[in-house]
Amino acid sequence: MGLASSTPKASSNNPASKEKMTNTKDNKVEEVKESEEISKAFAAVAGVRKEVDKLSERVAALEVAVNSGTKVTDEEFVVPAELLMRELLKLDGIEAEGEARLQRKAEVRRIQKHHETLDKLKTRNSNPFSDKHKAVSVTTNWETFDSGMGSLTAPPPMSSSTNTTQDWERFD
């Protein structure tokens, strides 16, 4: 006959061990969910990348056509630009963290670059008499504001073309 151990065993009836098992299971479930979300984000970005690859071929073909002097219809610029914007919206809807987020950002920049190229090509195509090697660059300068309610210094006085006199009529 064996002697019974004096230390209690961790059994499934022990509330402390049940809590530890539940916490461990919850942590594993959360890790699996996070892993699935990351995988979904990678897959979604990869899907967008595949579509952007196809569109980049169209942009390259348009670039060759415009640079060779071939007149291209405006619709041939508008359609790829719209498709690029759709892909940009898809990327905007992807929630990603870590590496997936970096990949999403890279695709956003890539789409923006292709869109800028299309804009330049469209401008160059619309003006066939311009120098083919000079691209028109259209940039937006955004005004930035300092934090706070405004400046503490008054604006400089504006010059006026009218002469003002000090002859005021008084009403009592």
pTM here is 0.58
Q: 65: Cβ–Cβ under 8 A, 6 or more apart, which residues?
A: 72
Distance CA 44, CA 103 (A): 11
The string of pLDDT tens digits covering residues 112-166 is 999 999 999 999 998 866 554 555 556 666 665 544 445 556 656 666 566 666 6
Both tokens of 56, joined, read: 């980049």
Give the residue from 75, 82, 105, 110 showing the smallest Cα distance to 92.
Answer: 105
In this predicted structure, what is the pLDDT of residue 132?
A: 47
What's CA 134's distance to the chain center, in Å?
Answer: 29
Helix, strand or coil for residue 25?
helix
- What whole-number distance in Å separates Cα of residue 63 and Cα of residue 117? 8
Mean pLDDT, rounded, for 59-83: 94
What pLDDT, in 10s, does the model give residues 13-65? 565 556 666 667 677 777 777 788 888 999 999 999 999 999 999 999 999 99
Whether CATH 1.20.58.120 fits 31-126? yes
Higher pLDDT residue, 32 or 3? 32
